[in-house]
Amino acid sequence: MTDLEVIRVAAERPYEVHTRAGALELLPDLVGDTERVALLYAPVLRERASALAEGLRARVTMIELPDAEAAKTAEVLVACWDRLAAEGFTRSDLLIALGGGATTDLGGFVAASWLRGIRFVTVPTTVLGMVDAAVGGKTGINISAGKNLVGAFHEPIGVLCDLSLLRTLPEADLRAGMVEAVKCGFIADPVILDLVEEDPVEALRVDSDRLAEIVRRGIAVKARVVSADLREATSKGATVGREILNYGHTLGHAVEKLENYRMRHGEAVGIGMIYVAELARLLGRIDDDLAERHRSVLAALGVPTTYRPDAWPALREAMSLDKKTRGSTLRFVLLNGLGSAEICAGPGEDVLAAAYARFAG
Ligand code: GLY
């Protein structure tokens, strides 16, 4: 799998995603002779951040962010701008975001907005961050009206997915992160599903070649999708562009909302994928085996495979308010077969409810 140790993203400004254990060694090369670097990091990574800073020739401003989603607020954003202003950051300086998806989302948005855009590097430390958030240039913050409602497309100049960073990731986060890789399996690369099914225990072992290949294949899918449609602008009619990455997310976001965002994103997306598989089965788009495969592969990862049977009315309402809804029309990414997806806009209420009943029944 050496060909996936370096994955190229070729959207507006091409860059590379380095995925080998030890990829962090490449950071000094990416920083080059940049004068000033802001290193934004999650609190649990303080020691790692200090070690990284010592290895750089640049003058480093250390910015410790609040943990997880607490980093993605307007207050934190302003505090970061104030630090960059105080340190005199210019257009030629650079930002590094070290942490999970929330850290790289916030860090990317600081980079996108400071002086209308400076260079940044993402160093994701979670599976979710590697397979999804750190690649593809979506940056942003949450506001009280909803998650990710304010943001910008701003591509990193490089992504270092050092797989050895996953050694300290809590197991539940590892499992939940793998759901995004499994998503990539259903929408584009079924080998990912085979790799999980052949040996789920090894697929979850951080130092295994199997986990490395699953993560790399997931990143490669994301890289291909965002290279073709960085700005999520090409979905037209039933044809799906970057929106394909939202497979399982329409219901998944609603579940997250009902859970007051205390459920892991990957777990909610897993529930959402099993639901849309039921929906696709009822609509005659996929067969029983493919629908069942969703539940069995996610069960093998040890993530939730069902949700409260009585939750449908609340989930339906939450989906109407989701920012991905266009006008009042609900949009789902549905499979037509393994590795083949389309947009289904405005399916009937009866079939939506029937699919939920089958999913949760
Ligand atoms: N997380 C979905 C996307 O990057 O488009």
Domain ranges of the chain: 6-168, 171-205+232-360
Mutate to test the pocket of ligand 1, among 126, 148, 180, 222 (most ligand atoms within 8 A of CB): 222
Per residue in 252-291, pLDDT (tens digit) is 999 999 999 999 999 999 999 999 999 999 999 999 999 9
DSSP 236: B
* Beta strand segments in 240-287, E: none
Q: Model confidence over 40-51: pLDDT tens digits?
A: 999 999 999 999
Mean pLDDT over 67-90 rounds to 97
- The architecture (CATH level 2) of 6-168 comes to 3-Layer(aba) Sandwich (3.40)
Count of Cβ atoms closer than 10 Å to residue 236 Cβ: 9
78: Cα separation from own chain's centroid:
24
Shared fold status for 6-168 and 171-205+232-360: no
- 213 Cβ inside 6 Å of ligand 1: no
- Identify the residue whose C-alpha is closest to ligand 1 atom 2: 245
Q: Which residues lie across from 153 on neighbouring strands?
A: 138
Report the separation in Å between the CA atom of 222 and the middle of ligand 1, taken as the mean of its atom positions: 8
Does domain 171-205+232-360 sit in CATH 1.20.1090.10?
yes
What ligand 1 atom has the least distance to the C-alpha of 246? Answer: 2
β-partners of residue 331 are 345
- pTM for this model (two decimals): 0.96
> Counting beta carbons within 10 angstroms of the beta carbon of residue 81, is it exposed (0 to 12), middle (13 to 18) or buried (19 or more)?
middle
Q: Tell me: the pLDDT tens digits for 224-263?
A: 999 999 999 988 888 899 999 999 999 999 999 999 999 9
- Residue 183 beta carbon below 6 angstroms from any ligand 1 atom: no
